[in-house]
A and B are shown apart, each in its own frame.
Chain A
Amino acid sequence: MTIKIIEGEKFAHMLIEGANNLSNNAKIIDALNVFPVPDGDTGTNLNLTITSGVKEVKGQSTEHVGKVAGAFAKGLLMGARGNSGVILSQLFRGFSKSVEGKETINAKDLSKAFEFGVEMAYKAVMKPVEGTILTVAKDSAKKAVTFAKKK
């Protein structure tokens, strides 16, 4: 069975599972932390940030993808911690802007939202430093777009 369309409920589930996955691997991310200050707290920061986002999603049950994404972005913004947390909140701010008003999304919408999120995230910095989460997001979005076009 292939999934062609993501509904609000599924999307909320994806976010929650993603956050769980991040929480489980927070220690590994801590070990990766070298920039801007190598104090080994990236995993902890990201975990706190995404937990705040998920809390916002859980607070309101909705079938609407745009609204779920909006709530997630708001939660991330309010709970942003550390450099990576702020970047994550920007990525999803762009993402939620792109899917705003959409009840369901397909592969094309999703890839477009990824791309828009990256675009937004790059705007909020004077001198983007490659090799951070920004680069990862940029390359993932690029791949998602080419893949969505193929199908």
Chain B
Amino acid sequence: MTIEMKTNYGKIDVSKEVVAVIAGGAAIDCYGIVGMASQKQLKDGITDLLGKENLGRGVIIRELEDDEIHIDMYIIVSYGTKISEVAHNVQSKVKYQLEQMLGLKVDSVNIFVQGVRVTNP
């Protein structure tokens, strides 16, 4: 369950969990995101009960045969924002952050808008 990168000196293995946390952390920095939608209810539920911060929530990393990396992000956005633009911002931010922190080239960042939150002031 690791993502492998080869360098001249050897290889670097990064666990999928780490990639998910970095992607999630990058996403919640984006304006318009109010939350992530859990895809692993049991795991995320227990983490919530323990009161831990859970940046990897709602992020699924898929690795295909020929080293292609795809990231699926399940987000909840704020009502009244331009959702297409928010989603686009998340894509570029996540791609940039992973390249910066891990030197990881991502093939695709797919956004699933799972919810929209209406806040009445």
Knowing A36-B93, A37-B96, A82-B89 are in contact, say whether A126-B33 is a contact too (CB < 8 A). yes
**Bound: A81/B89 CA distance, A:** 9
Count, chain B residues at interface, CB 8 A: 21
Knowing A36-B96, A37-B93 are in contact, say whether A90-B80 is a contact too (CB < 8 A). yes
Knowing A77-B80, A124-B81, A125-B33 are in contact, say whether A86-B121 is a contact too (CB < 8 A). no
Q: Is B112 an interface residue (CB 8 A)?
A: no
Task: Check A37–B92 contact: CB distance below 8 A.
Answer: yes
Q: For A80, A124, A129, which residue has the most chain B Cβ atoms within 10 angstroms? A: A124
Tell me whether chain B's interface is mostly helix, strand or loop, or mixed: mixed
Task: For B29, list chain A residues within 8 Å (CB).
Answer: 36, 127, 129
Give the 8 A-B CB pairs with smallest separation, nearest first: A124-B78, A80-B82, A36-B93, A37-B96, A123-B119, A126-B28, A80-B85, A127-B28
* B interface residues, Cβ below 8 angstroms from A: 26, 28-35, 78, 80-82, 85-86, 89, 92-93, 96, 119, 121
